[in-house]
């Protein structure tokens, strides 16, 4: 059990460092936004894959409000959600993935219905403060993302809160989806509007060191 917690802490630190790296990359972009995708296996292609098509749109850059309870919260009961019955992941034939979008003001974690069973979406909304169902809060939709089609579950973060985002991602991978904590993930990262493709299906083992100079793992 101690070994598990040691590896989990390594993973949390690794995820945090990657998100911090993306913050630096976003700051270097002349215009537009960037994205980061963690997948359970190699996709064999780029971010235009149908299951990742949501990433084709730029992230909303408008300012957002905050409340004392947490980023993006408006005082409503987080347990009071009403998810549609249809449209969720149907089977285990496609790879699991978690994606992040970055803009000059903030970043978010994003999980479309293609990667979540309905019960999993409920578990995340019930267990992790700050997550919301995007169609319930259209002010946080990404332009042209077709939220009504992909119906993602999302959370917004301020820069500087990369550790919290890493903990949320670890919760999904290791507690909701039950992946081994030492799983070999694959990473794709790029800018939307500029010719910056930092990683494409780059392996991310538990001992991979994320370079602070912006070169990635």
pLDDT (tens digit per residue) in 31-82: 888 999 999 998 754 444 433 433 333 332 222 222 223 333 333 344 445 6
Which helix (H) or strand (E) segment holds residue 109: the answer is strand 107-111
67: in domain? no
Report the mean per-residue pLDDT for the chain.
77
Higher-confidence position of 17 and 134: 17
Q: What is the pTM of this model?
A: 0.78
- Distance between CA 70 and CA 9 in Å, rounded? 24
Question: Is residue 134 within 8 Å of 53, Cβ to Cβ?
Answer: no
The residues near 66 (Cβ < 8 Å, ≥ 6 apart) are 72, 73
Q: Give the mean model confidence (pLDDT) for residues 85-104.
A: 83
Identify the DSSP state of 28: H
Structural domain harbouring 136: 2-58+95-204
Residues 171-210 pLDDT 10s:
999 999 999 999 999 999 998 877 788 999 999 999 998 8
217: in domain? no
- Distance between CA 96 and CA 62 in Å, rounded? 29
Comparing CA positions, the residue from 67, 97, 56 lying closest to residue 158 is 67
210: in domain? no
82: in domain? no
**Total domains present in the chain:** 1
Q: DSSP string spanning 127-160?
A: HSTT-EEGGG-GGGPPTT--HHHH--EEEEE-TT
- Distance between CA 127 and CA 120 in Å, rounded? 10
First-to-final CA distance of the chain: 28
14: in domain? yes
The residues near 105 (Cβ < 8 Å, ≥ 6 apart) are 61, 63, 64
37: in domain? yes
37 pairs with which residues across the strands?
A: 99, 188
215 pLDDT band (50/70/90 cuts)?
Answer: low
């Amino acid at each position: 059990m101690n070994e598990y917690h040691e590896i989990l802490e390594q993973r949390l630190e690794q995820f945090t460092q990657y998100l911090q790296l993306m913050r630096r990359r976003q700051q270097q972009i002349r215009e537009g936004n960037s994205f980061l995708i963690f997948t359970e296996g190699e996709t064999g292609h780029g971010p235009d894959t149908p299951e990742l098509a949501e990433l084709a749109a730029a992230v909303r850059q408008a300012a957002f409000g905050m409340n004392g309870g947490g980023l993006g919260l408006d005082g409503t009961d987080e347990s009071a959600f009403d998810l549609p019955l249809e449209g969720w992941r149907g089977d285990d034939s496609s790879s699991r993935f978690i994606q992040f979008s970055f803009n000059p003001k903030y970043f978010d974690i994003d999980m479309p219905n293609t990667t979540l069973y309905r019960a999993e979406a409920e578990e995340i909304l019930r267990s992790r403060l700050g997550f919301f169902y995007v169609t319930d809060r259209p002010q946080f939709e990404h332009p042209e993302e077709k939220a009504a089609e992909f119906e993602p579950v999302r959370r917004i973060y301020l820069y500087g809160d990369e550790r919290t985002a890493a903990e949320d991602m670890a919760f999904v991978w290791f507690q909701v989806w039950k992946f081994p904590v030492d799983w070999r993930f694959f990473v794709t990262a790029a800018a939307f509007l500029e010719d910056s493709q930092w990683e494409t299906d780059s392996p991310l083992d538990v001992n991979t060191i994320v370079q602070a100079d912006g070169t990635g793992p």
